[in-house]
Amino acid sequence: MQTILKVLSFFIGLFVIANGIFIILMPPFGDEPQGYAIIAVGILIPLITLYVAWKEERSET
Phi, psi of 11, deg, nearest 5: -65, -40
How do the pLDDT tens digits run along the chain, 61 residues long?
688 888 999 999 999 999 999 999 998 888 899 999 999 999 999 999 999 989 888 887 6
Q: 28: domain range?
A: 3-60
Give the helix ranges, DSSP H, for 1-61: 3-25, 32-60
Number of domains in the chain: 1
What is the pLDDT at residue 17?
A: 95
* Claim: this prediction has a pTM higher than 0.75: yes
What is the pLDDT at residue 49?
A: 92
What is the pLDDT at residue 45?
A: 94
d(Cα 52, Cα 31) in Å, to the nearest integer?
32
